[in-house]
Chains A and B, each alone.
Chain A
Amino acid sequence: MLKRTPILALIFAALMSALIIFIFQVDARPFTKGQIAMLYFFSFFPSMGIAMLFDPFPKKVKERYLKINFYIQEEDPADQVAKVIAEEEKEKGN
């Protein structure tokens, strides 16, 4: 994961929180500071996902898991993942 990804997420979360307040806040019931802090906290999670779209690591993980069929009865999921990672390392070495 790139170092910039969580930083980008923090920025996106601030923008998302501001947008939500702009759209949903009712004048009679303004958000308190604590509620805004919680809104920022909850905005962070989807923002992290958006930031991860610009990071190559999650794409690599998706490609890795797409190679695995987790519904083979005899196989252990942890072993299957380890096997694919070992193959990736081997390819990198070549």
Chain B
Amino acid sequence: MQLGHVAVALTIASFAPELSGGQIEALSLESILVAIFAHEFPNFDGFLIMSGLAPKKFHCTWSHSLIVGFLAGLITWFINPAWGYIFWLSIFLHYLADMPSSVGIPIFLPFSKKRYTFNLWADTGYFGWVSFKGTYQQSWTWILEGGAFLVLYVRLYVIGFWPFS
């Protein structure tokens, strides 16, 4: 998933009051920043690859394992418990959103290297125009990523947020 991650993160931010015990408002700047940071966190491995600090095959490995997601959420929880729950939901939904790709996600690293995938679309790499173009020439990316934006729009209506306020 590429652009759809933004819609998923914003939808999570719309649930901030429920996730933070009422401490953070739905779609407040705080909730959006935490949700987007956490949701994109697993893809930060792309920066390591682009800066030459990691090989290409590092993408979708450790950053996409449950244990790393849990520990990153735990650190966030120690900083601010209200952020912790948003972080956990965001990062775990990132893994779920990436699982339709054929590359598969090794969610049980370091215990198992097996990659889990729904195999709905072919992987197109981690960065660049080739990756972007290839992704959006496949049907299921439109269904799921477009669907994510539609769910966000309906969610905005349900909570009476702009443009429904």
A interface list, Cβ under 8 A from B:
16, 20, 24, 29, 31, 34-35, 38-39, 42-50, 52-53, 55, 57-59, 61-66, 70-73, 77-78, 81
Q: A53-B139, A66-B102 are in contact. Are A35 and B145 (CB under 8 A)?
A: no
In the assembled complex, the Cα of A89 lies from the Cα of B109 at a distance in Å of: 40
Q: Would A73 and B160 count as touching, CB distance under 8 A?
A: no
Tally of B interface residues using CB under 8 Å: 36
In the assembled complex, the Cα of A24 lies from the Cα of B140 at a distance in Å of: 25
In the assembled complex, the Cα of A62 lies from the Cα of B59 at a distance in Å of: 20
Q: How far is the CB of A2 from chain B (nearest CB, A)?
A: 12
B interface list, Cβ under 8 A from A:
55-57, 59, 102, 121-126, 128-131, 134, 137-147, 149-150, 153-154, 157-158, 160, 163-164
Q: Would B123 and A45 count as touching, CB distance under 8 A?
A: no
A77: chain B residues at CB < 8 Å are: 124-125, 128, 130-131
9 A/B residue pairs, CB under 8 Å, sorted by A: A24-B154, A24-B157, A45-B146, A45-B149, A52-B139, A65-B138, A77-B130, A78-B130, A81-B134
Partner of A71 from B57, B137, B153, B158 at Cβ < 8 Å: B57
Q: Would B130 and A71 count as touching, CB distance under 8 A?
A: no
Q: A24-B158, A73-B56, A77-B125 are in contact. Are A46 and B143 (CB under 8 A)?
A: yes
In the assembled complex, the Cα of A58 lies from the Cα of B131 at a distance in Å of: 15
In the assembled complex, the Cα of A55 lies from the Cα of B140 at a distance in Å of: 12
Main secondary structure of the interface of B (DSSP, over half): helix
Q: Would B142 and A49 count as touching, CB distance under 8 A?
A: yes
Main secondary structure of the interface of A (DSSP, over half): helix
In the assembled complex, the Cα of A57 lies from the Cα of B142 at a distance in Å of: 14
A73: chain B residues at CB < 8 Å are: 55-57
CB-nearest residue of chain B to A54: B139
Q: Would A45 and B145 count as touching, CB distance under 8 A?
A: yes
CB-nearest residue of chain A to B4: A45
Q: Would A66 and B55 count as touching, CB distance under 8 A?
A: no
